[in-house]
Structure 1
Amino acid sequence: MAAAQPLDPGQRQRLLTLATYASVGVALLLIVLKASVWMMSGSVSLLASLIDSLMDAGASIINLLAIRVALKPADRGHRFGHGKAEALAGLAQSAFITGSAVLVLLQGIKRLADPEPLDAAWLGVGVMLFSIAATICLLLLQRHVVKRTQSTAIRADALHYRSDLLMNASIILALILAYYGVARADSIFGIGIAIYIGYGAITIGLTAMQILMDHELPDEVRSNALRLAREVPGVIGVHDLRTRESGQHWFMQVHVELPGDLSLNEAHELGENVRKAIQSGYPQAEVLVHKDPV
C-alpha cells in the first residue's frame, strides 16, 4: 500500500490501457496455442490451463471496461468519482476464476476414475514453457503499472497471473509423468490446480468486497496519518480518523483539536496544514479535516 508518485490523468490512462490490452493479448495468444495442443493430447491439466486462459481473457476484458469507467472524473451523480468500478472488476474476476476451478475439478475427478493415455505430451510441454515466458513478461509490465497507479483491478489481474506460473510449471511435470506411464498424474495435478485456482478466487473476491464495503485502510497507514497530523505545530490532539479506498483514490476524515481562542482564519490555516501534512505522505488521499475547539 505504499504511496505512488502522483500521475496526471493522461499518464494513468495510458499505463492502465497498456496493461489491460497486454493482458488480453497474452490471454488470446495462449488460448489459441493451448486449444490446439489440448485437442491433440486430451490432457486434463492442459484443459485446466486452457480454461484458465479463457477466464483470463474474459477477466481482462472486464478490467478494460471497468478501468475506462474508473478513469472518469467525479461528476454530479458520483461526487467521489468512479474508482469502485475497479473493485467491481475484481469481484467479476473472482466469479470467473471460481467457475473455471469448478469445471476443471469436475473434469479431473472424471478422468481420475477413468484415466486415458495422452498424445502429443512434449508439444504440450513446449506450449507451457512458452506460456511461462509470456506470463513473466506480462507480470513485469503489470508490476510497473501497479507501482505507479495502485490500480486494484490490475493488482487482482497480476495476482491471478502469478498463480499461473506455478500452475504452468505443475502442468509440465504432470505431462512428463503421464508420458512416462504415471497414468493418473495428469488428473491429480489437474485437481490440485483447480483447488489452487479456487483459493486465488476467494482471495481476489474478499479483497474486492472489502473495498466495496469501505473497509478501513491498513493500520500502519492509519497510524502514520495520525502521526503526521499530530506533528503539525499548534495541534493539541487528533481523533476519529476514518478512511476508505476507491480505485487509486484514498479518502480520509480526521478531527483535530485546536486552541479555542483561535480566530476562524487561524483555525482554517491550521486545518490546511494538517491536510497538507497527511497528503505529503499519501498524495493519493483526499483529506477532510474537522476542527474541534479545546
Structure 2
Amino acid sequence: MTKLLLRLFVKNYENSEDTAVRASVGKLAGAVGIVCNCILFLGKLLAGLISGSVAIIADAVNNLSDASSSIVTLIGFRLAQKPADKDHPYGHARYEYLSGLMVAVLILVIGIELVKSSVGKIIHPEGITFSALTVGILLASILVKFWMSKFFGYLGKYINSLPLEATSIDSRNDVVSTAAVLLGCLAGYFFNVNIDGFVGLAVAVFILYSGFNMMKETISPLLGQQADTELVEKINTLVLSHDKVLGVHDLLVHDYGPGRCFASLHLELSAENDALTSHEIIDHIENEVLRKLNVDMVIHYDPVVVDDRESEELQRIVKEILGEMDERLSLHDFRLVRNEEQIKLCFDLAVPYEMGQNYEETKKKIDGMLLEKGKNCVTEIRFDGKR
C-alpha cells in the first residue's frame, strides 16, 4: 500500500536524496495523516457522545491533535523546500525541525487539557453506554493507526525524516491508548466497573509522555547535536581512501536541516608536496564528498614533515607522556619549529569534555614531564574538546 501511494503521488520517488522528492514524500505523509485522523476523530467523537465516555472523547481529541500535527508537518515540508536566499544562505530546511517542535507543543497542550477533564470524571463519575458500534469504531481505529504507524515509519526511514519517524511513534502510541480505552469499555460492560476516568487519565499521561519525547527529539538538532556516527565514519573512510592523505582530524559537521549538511576537517598531507598538488587533492576530495555524501565540505590543509627522525622521536615521547597522564588524550597536527635558542613543539591536543578545561595545568604538567625525560623544549599547544 505504501509503495503504491509513492508510485501514484511522488514523481521519481526512487531518488530519496533529492530535495523535491523529500518534499513530495512529506506532503504525501501530511495529506494521509490529515485524512485518516479526521475520519478517526469523527468516528470516535460519535462513539464517545453515544456512550458518554470521556476516555473515548479524549482519544478522539488525540486524533484531532494528530490531524493538526499533520497540517503543521505539511506546512513544514513546504517551507523547508524554499531555496537559500540573501538572509538565509544555508537554506530553510530547518523548518522541518521547527514543524516537529510545534507538533510536540500542540500534543503537550492537548494532553494537559485531557488530564483536567479526566480528573473531573474521576471525581464525578458518570455511567457510560456500551454498544457494538462503539466497539467496532475502536477496533477499526486500532487497525488504521497500526497501518499509519508502519506507513510513517517507512517514509521516515526512506527520506531520513525525524518528524515522520516521530509521527510513526505517535501513531504506535495511539494503538496502545485506543486499546486501553476499548478495554475500559469492556470492563465496564462485563464487570460493571466504571474506570472510564482513570483510562482517560492514562491516555492523557501517555499523550504527554509522547509529546515530551518528541520535543526532545526535535530540539536536539536545533541546538546542534553530535553528528551522526554513521555519517562521520563515511566521511573519514572516504577521505582516508586517498593514498596521499596521511591523516584527518577536527571533523565538524553542521546540520542545517535534512539535505543541508556542511562539514569541515583538517587534512594532513606531506609537506614535500608543492602547493598546487595539495590544492588539487583537497579540491578533488571536497567534490567527491559532496557528490557521494551530499555534504558541503571545507578542508584545512595541515602540512606534515615526513622522514624527520628528530621530529618523529619527540612526537613519540609526547605521545608516551600523554598516555601516562590519561589514555583519552590524543594529539594531532604535530610539528617541530627549530631556532637558535630552543626547539618548539607545536601540536593540537584533543581533551575529553569530562576532563574539564584546566588547560594551563595540563600544559605545565606536559612541560614538566618533558624536562624529566631530558627534553628542554618549548610547547605551543592548542586545546580542543574531543568530538
The answer to whether the superposition gives a TM-score over 0.5 is yes
Find the counterpart in structure 1 of residue 228 from structure 2.
Answer: 218
Whole-angstrom distance in 1 between the partners of 2:217 and 2:40: 27
In structure 2, relative to structure 1, the CA distance for the partners of 1:163 and 1:273 (3 Å cut) is farther
Find the counterpart in structure 2 of residue 176 from structure 1.
Answer: 186
* Percent of matched pairs sharing the same residue: 25
Unaligned residue ranges in structure 1 (runs of 5+): none
* 1:106 paired to 2:116: yes
Find the counterpart in structure 1 of residue 170 from structure 2.
Answer: 160
- DSSP 3-state at the match of 1:236: strand
Q: Which runs of 4+ in 1 moved over 6 A?
A: none
Find the counterpart in structure 2 of residue 269 from structure 1.
Answer: 280
Q: Which has the larger radius of gyration?
A: 2
- DSSP 3-state at the match of 1:56: helix
Find the counterpart in structure 2 of residue 190 from structure 1.
Answer: 200
Richer in helix (by share): 1
* 1:231 paired to 2:241: yes
Aligned-pair Cα RMSD in Å: 2.2
In structure 2, relative to structure 1, the CA distance for the partners of 1:251 and 1:174 (3 Å cut) is farther
Structure 1 residue 182: Cα displacement: 4.6
Whole-angstrom distance in 1 between the partners of 2:294 and 2:164: 17
Find the counterpart in structure 1 of residue 214 from structure 2.
Answer: 204
Find the counterpart in structure 2 of residue 251 from structure 1.
Answer: 262
Whole-angstrom distance in 1 between the partners of 2:279 and 2:129: 75
Unaligned residue ranges in structure 2 (runs of 5+): 1-13, 305-387
Structure 1 residue 67: Cα displacement: 0.8
* 1:83 paired to 2:102: no
Count of matched residue positions in the alignment of Structure 1 and Structure 2: 290
Structure 1 residue 75: Cα displacement: 2.1
8 Å contact from structure 1 (residues 20, 154) kept in 2: no
Whole-angstrom distance in 2 between the partners of 1:45 and 1:63: 27
- DSSP 3-state at the match of 1:73: coil
The aligned amino acid for 1:205 is M
Q: Normalising by structure 1, report the TM-score.
A: 0.89
Structure 1 residue 224: Cα displacement: 4.5
Whole-angstrom distance in 2 between the partners of 1:89 and 1:182: 44
Find the counterpart in structure 2 of residue 126 from structure 1.
Answer: 136
Whole-angstrom distance in 2 between the partners of 1:268 and 1:149: 34
Richer in strand (by share): 2
Q: Normalising by structure 2, report the TM-score.
A: 0.69
* 1:15 paired to 2:13: no
